Structure 1
Amino acid sequence: MTKRKKHWLVGLLIAVVIICIGIGGAGYYFYNMAVARGKKGFVNTSLTIKKNDPNRTQKLWYKNAKKYTWHEMSATGHLKLVASYVPASKKTNKTIVIAHGFGGSSANMGAYAGLFHELGYNVLLPDDRGNGRSQGNYIGYGWPDRLDYLKWIKQVIHKNGQQSEITVFGTSMGGATTMMVSGEKTPKQVKAFIEDCGYTSVYDEIVYQAKSMYNIPQYPLVPVVSAINYLKNGYTFKQASSLNQVKKNHKPMLFIHGTNDTFVPTKMVYRLYAADKGPKQLLLVKGAQHAKSYAHSPKLYTRTVKHFLDKYMK
């Protein structure tokens, strides 16, 4: 090998190493931004209740309601999880388990807790691992959480009785969590699911957000962040698929999505709805932005949810 070729190969090797270090560094940066526990500046989780908020009544009710604190251990990782439980005004065996969105907690789900309370249901609102009062150093995007929710469901049955009837509900990441739960073997007491603006998979959503928020292409960064997540947390973003989970679901599901959703694009709900194998219904709320369908059209939202629950929570 000539001296010139040796210099060329060494230079190429150095360049490759520099590129790999750069990609790895960027991967860890975006992992910390997207997955690691911490306040997310691009997500509004304010608990301020404005006077003109369409869901003000429900939020104020939840803020002032007497809440019972429940505890559970995570299905993996030995983490202490916390939830708030509010029984219905009139005793009932019907409970809605409410999953919150990305970067939020049960405290951000007051509007929905109030809605289901008005409809006569008990409500249980867990803080997912890595969020709120629960332990954990990463956000699971619903994938490890799906197994935690199975434990919360079993706790509802244990405390409220074998005659319990349960529906799992969630918005955004909580909607994805709901769909991920639906693909597992759930107790007979789980009667239905309601998902609002959940994504097809964690991989699809992060690819979309990387492009939308930062104009970053899918390759090589997203696979690198996914690999980091696998090494740290035991699963890849492609494994965390709502789409694959609803293909295994045979229980009733109501899909809800705003037509002006640019955070979890509306097109995702069509694939999810088509893939689901159970009795299903789709509500598209015209003009609603991400996770704003209830605030945008409260009467339509309430009427649709009530009719769906009346049908399957008998």
Structure 2
Amino acid sequence: MKTTPRPFRPVRILAFALAGVLALAAFIALRHVRAAHAVLHPARQALKPLGAATLAARTDVALRTRDGLTLRGWYVPSRNRAAVVVMHGFAENRTQMLFEAEALSRAGYGVLLFDSRGHGESDGELVTWGDREREDLRAAVDFVAARADVEPSRLGVLGFSMGGTTAMLGALEDARLKAVAAAGAYPSLVADTRYSYGRWGPLSVLPVLWTMRLSGVDVDAVDPMARLCELKGRPLLLINGDVDAYAPAFLQDALFQAACEPKAYWVVPGAHHGEYAAKAPAEYERRLRAFFDAALLGGP
């Protein structure tokens, strides 16, 4: 017995195609929700062991934030009445910044290194990409400003990556910080998310931003580029590698263009994210010292 073939039904084909598109969209969105959870709760990295001569004058310190967290760190006393707070990047800890800390300490600066919330030995389970980390920096500034070896009008901050963005945000809110150096920083959390997760456009970007917002991150507050001119004469130094895939040149250039004078921008040849000391150690140290000397000590 012959069967008659079913007639072609374009509506059915369209329905199957739409179902496939929706399934793909849901898969992409779920994948990026999971990615957002991972960057909000990174695995902690153990502190690297220090040799006896590394920051030999350091003492252990505990900072208390206004939202109730204890942050662990080290302080090296000042010999020139000035001090610099040093902030590490995402998924790292204070030992990431040993080169910078030693360079500044050799120049006579008091240096405070600490683990940001959710990192290293500090309290906290949520990393907010510069939002609540502003409170970490505020606690650090409170600490150094109260030191007997430091003149409170001679305080600066140096941050890398997430720490660099936090440094700019914190300085915009705290006039006690007279100089800001930011290496490999991002101009805003929205811009960084679009760059890092923009392969599928809104399908991949929006789930990340929504997850951050639902987790309590004030995404819109992490936007130093929009307000950099509010530093009002306090100098800014931006540092980046010319082959940095995490902090691409177009974002760094936009950040620099948004800033007002006095400002400086050093691009390190051949440096990936955070490789400034590896590629140009002497020049990196010289530039850090010259920047903070001019801003905090009245040097040339």
The TM tier, using the shorter chain, reads: 0.7 to 0.9
Residue 108 of structure 2 is aligned with which of 120, 125, 145?
120
Please state if 1:291 is matched with 2:279: no
User: Do the aligned partners of residues 65 and 271 (structure 1) sit closer, same or farther apart at CA in structure 2, a change above 3 Å counting?
Assistant: same
Give the aligned residue type for 2:85.
Answer: V
Give the aligned residue type for 2:56.
Answer: A
Tell me by how many angstroms 1:117 deviates.
1.0
Give the aligned residue type for 1:229.
Answer: M
Report the Cα distance in structure 2 between the residues aligned to 1:33 and 1:138, rounded to whole angstroms: 10
Match of residue 209 from structure 1 = 196
Are the equivalent residues in 1 in contact too, given 2:134–2:166 (CA < 8 A)?
A: yes
RMSD between superposed Cα atoms in Å: 3.0
Tell me by how many angstroms 1:229 deviates.
1.3
Give the aligned residue type for 2:195.
Answer: Y
Q: Secondary structure at the match of 1:310?
A: helix
Are the equivalent residues in 2 in contact too, given 1:146–1:177 (CA < 8 A)?
A: yes
Match of residue 279 from structure 1 = 262
Deviations 1:34-64 (A, max 9, x none): 2213259xxxx8848xxxxxxxxxx757746
User: Do the aligned partners of residues 157 and 17 (structure 1) sit closer, same or farther apart at CA in structure 2, a change above 3 Å counting?
Assistant: same
TM-score, scaled relative to structure 2:
0.83
Match of residue 71 from structure 2 = 81
Tell me by how many angstroms 1:253 deviates.
0.9
Match of residue 52 from structure 1 = none
Match of residue 134 from structure 2 = 146
Match of residue 86 from structure 2 = 98
For structure 2, which runs of at least 5 residues remain unmatched after alignment?
1-11
Match of residue 170 from structure 2 = 181
Aligned length: 285
Report the Cα distance in structure 1 between the residues aligned to 2:44 and 2:73, rounded to whole angstroms: 20
Q: Secondary structure at the match of 1:198?
A: coil
Q: Secondary structure at the match of 1:128?
A: coil
Deviations 1:96-117 (A, max 9, x none): 1001011101122111111111
Tell me by how many angstroms 1:169 deviates.
0.2
Residue 70 of structure 1 is aligned with which of 61, 74, 78?
61
Give the aligned residue type for 2:283.
Answer: L
Give the aligned residue type for 2:242.
Answer: T
Report the Cα distance in structure 2 between the residues aligned to 1:266 and 1:232, rounded to whole angstroms: 30
Are the equivalent residues in 2 in contact too, given 1:258–1:289 (CA < 8 A)?
A: yes
Are the equivalent residues in 1 in contact too, given 2:47–2:120 (CA < 8 A)?
A: no
User: Do the aligned partners of residues 158 and 112 (structure 1) sit closer, same or farther apart at CA in structure 2, a change above 3 Å counting?
Assistant: same
Are the equivalent residues in 1 in contact too, given 2:44–2:119 (CA < 8 A)?
A: no
User: Do the aligned partners of residues 28 and 74 (structure 1) sit closer, same or farther apart at CA in structure 2, a change above 3 Å counting?
Assistant: farther
Are the equivalent residues in 2 in contact too, given 1:83–1:124 (CA < 8 A)?
A: yes
Give the aligned residue type for 2:196.
Answer: Q
Out of 24-33 and 129-138, give the one that drifted further: 24-33
TM-score, scaled relative to structure 1:
0.79
Give the aligned residue type for 1:199.
Answer: Y
Q: Secondary structure at the match of 2:215?
A: helix
User: Do the aligned partners of residues 217 and 24 (structure 1) sit closer, same or farther apart at CA in structure 2, a change above 3 Å counting?
Assistant: closer
Report the Cα distance in structure 2 between the residues aligned to 1:46 and 1:127, rounded to whole angstroms: 10
Tell me by how many angstroms 1:270 deviates.
1.4
Report the Cα distance in structure 1 between the residues aligned to 2:125 and 2:223, rounded to whole angstroms: 21
Deviations 1:233-267 (A, max 9, x none): 2412x431131242322211111111121221122
For structure 1, which runs of at least 5 residues remain unmatched after alignment?
1-6, 49-58
Larger radius of gyration: 2
Report the Cα distance in structure 2 between the residues aligned to 1:25 and 1:281, rounded to whole angstroms: 41
Q: Secondary structure at the match of 1:220?
A: helix
Report the Cα distance in structure 1 between the residues aligned to 2:84 and 2:167, rounded to whole angstroms: 12
Match of residue 7 from structure 2 = none
Give the aligned residue type for 1:166.
Answer: L
Report the Cα distance in structure 2 between the residues aligned to 1:172 and 1:312, rounded to whole angstroms: 22
